[in-house]
Structure 1
């Protein structure tokens, strides 16, 4: 552990003095559920104004096209919000990627819309921890870095997307493009309440299987029908049986059916698969296709598979481990104990790691109960994590590598 130098200490003080809490309160007061395009536009504008304090180019990037299967089985285009991109010193010797997301899981009509203090220093509100607090930490750390003598050695791209909570389908290509050639990446999902970071992550894929059967009268000639709902239920059970230590399977929903006197001719099974490794991901996709073929054969139906693995598994390779060790070293210099553990969740860190770039993806403030109306932010950790991020970036600038 190396204690902060006088130069580092001055930068760390600037990071902790940033108005992060006020920013979180302002940004979290605007609903920005992934489907709330008006709210996302407002938040994107607020963020663009805030990040304009940094040197370089600030722009709003149009979302990539996204498709989804509706309950009727029709593939529909989905609108997503614009993403924020900030680029500073692209020719500097050390290049970093910092990412976050402006969207939340709370729709415009969700009852969880306001902020309240649960206790001294504990703020409850939608997106306070996940992750408008993380965005405030990014800006504070970078603003402090800009005043450091090491600033000229570091270039960076900041990407704040609008659709992370639904899988980053409209921003995955942008993430991959910005990750290319980077020295390292930091993503600002919240740390656990005790400060623990997420280490290895599984992959994740969401699939919709459209099953086309044949309708018939339920009493007069049911044998002439082909019950798509029964086929979907059978497929759900077969896929559920694939669960193992290397694969989590969640058959989540079946759309379909109709009047009790009609054999249903269409159903849609929605399922999430979470493989622990690339090998498990390949095996899971092969098994999925094999079971679909079996359902077609055994139930005399036709199936169409929609979706895929949008988050590859994120193991901890040697480069990622070195980056985690650097974060722990910087934490020790600040008197912060840093630990990490594997988690079942996924995020944009998965996509960045798939590009071969070492990433720590829980550099945001401490908090908990995310994705629920009990979500909370430990506000004292805003300064703590801004200092940690600034110190990591300064030491990356000095080293020139991870």
Structure 2
């Protein structure tokens, strides 16, 4: 006998089933929040322990020690973990942790183990400025973000949903000072992005918990070398001698400013310049010496700078304009402009990133933390998540510990209250994304 159900019965069944699913989802989210609250204190203790380990990028053993500290936490949560070797690119290596689930999208979570505070830095330990503001090396950039990842994973585990998820966590060991060549330094990160659908970065963004990064400017370096005819200064501007290297350099830099300064979110900074009759540049190209006299026309000038753009198209446009400017030389001068190959790519603004921000914003409001909007890309520097651009459907960054200031200085601080906040949003966001098709 075939039982025929009326449309009304089917409709009522679907309503009841949907209500059951909604009720279960809310119960799971409450369990996630409860877990974070119960484990926040131990997470902050973990953060303090990590901060007391110097992990300046070039302190390889310190970076590895922090990696082992976080590795042990992820091992306990059932991740398959490994610490890679960075010997091929002159760094400490990365921490990689994976779990294979059967539901939802594949997540890539990005952190980094290293800081800018090397062994010679005067900032080596944490201090509490009040009951919630901590000053310390890497508290915000970004050991706080690493701890938030671990706390969120623990909440998903205790809520009984972590086993369903496919997650890869990569904490790099050279975010602050990338290894060379970059294609080896960032290989694991790029391969992880190719496997993922969604990338979540746990840098601290612009230190504002009310903003999230949906696009980051890429960064590349450039080197300008200018040559002129050396002669007694009385002969400058003559047909035989021309204007000299310094005047030509001034023309080029001024034209960069005139033609590109109004490009939205584009910057091009000449951070180093040296010129004269003869030059000697340091091996690391951060300084040098020059010889010249006020009555001698300058023979050579060297300028180093960086170029930051929000998209590959904007970067290419700027490079094309800069190259054209350099080619239009003053009399009796020549110039060469070389762009570096080891820069950070832009994290371009995409429809997927914008949609992911909308999900994040809704979670934040549902949990009572208020609305979140996109940060101005001018307020967020280059970061590892940029290497996911073009590979994942959705990506956002700035999900780490926030509310502080003084990044990369001996006054770096972070608000410990945001550890729990960010972990709750992260875990609930991932849980919801696991159960949605878009």
User: Could you say which TM-score interval applies, normalised by the shorter chain?
Assistant: 0.7 to 0.9
Deviation for aligned residue 1:210: 5.1
Determine helix, strand or coil for the equivalent of 1:332.
Answer: helix
Partner of 1:136: 147
Q: 2:322 aligns with which of 278, 283, 288?
A: 288
Q: Are residues 221 and 82 of structure 1, via their aligned partners in 2, closer, same or farther at CA, if it must alter by over 3 Å?
A: farther
Q: Are residues 323 and 202 of structure 1, via their aligned partners in 2, closer, same or farther at CA, if it must alter by over 3 Å?
A: closer
Paired residues of 1:191 and 1:365 also in contact (CA < 8 A)? no
Partner of 1:271: 305
What is the 5 A alignment of 1:166-177?
166=177, 169=182, 171-177=185-191
Larger radius of gyration: 2
Give structure 2 stretches of 5+ with no counterpart. Answer: 1-21, 280-289
> How many pairs does the alignment contain?
387
Distance 2:362 2:52 in 1: 36
What is the 5 A alignment of 1:339-350?
339-341=372-374, 342-344=376-378, 345=380, 346-350=382-386
Deviation for aligned residue 1:255: 4.6
Q: 2:252 aligns with which of 211, 226, 235?
A: 235
**Structure 1 residue 115 corresponds to structure 2 residue 126:** yes
Distance 1:302 1:317 in 2: 37
Paired residues of 1:204 and 1:272 also in contact (CA < 8 A)? no
Q: 1:13 aligns with which of 24, 34, 59?
A: 34
Q: Which moved more, 1:357-366 or 1:53-62?
A: 53-62
The root-mean-square deviation of aligned C-alpha atoms, in Å, is: 3.1
Q: Are residues 385 and 293 of structure 1, via their aligned partners in 2, closer, same or farther at CA, if it must alter by over 3 Å?
A: same
Task: Report the structure, 1 or 2, having the larger strand content.
Answer: 1
Q: Write the deviation string for residues 298-341 of structure 1: whole angstroms up to 9, x where unpaired.
A: 55345361414733333432222221111122212211113123
Partner of 1:69: none
What is the 5 A alignment of 1:78-227?
79-89=90-100, 93-166=104-177, 169=182, 171-190=185-204, 192-209=206-223, 211=225, 213=227
Distance 2:318 2:169 in 1: 34
Distance 1:162 1:240 in 2: 36
Partner of 1:70: none
Give structure 1 stretches of 5+ with no counterpart. Answer: 67-78
Partner of 1:54: 77
Partner of 1:30: 53
Partner of 1:316: 349
Paired residues of 1:20 and 1:133 also in contact (CA < 8 A)? no
Stretches of 4+ moved more than 6 A in 1? 217-226
Distance 2:249 2:94 in 1: 37
Determine helix, strand or coil for the equivalent of 1:103.
Answer: coil
Query: TM-score if structure 1 supplies the norm length?
Result: 0.84
Paired residues of 2:155 and 2:427 also in contact (CA < 8 A)? yes
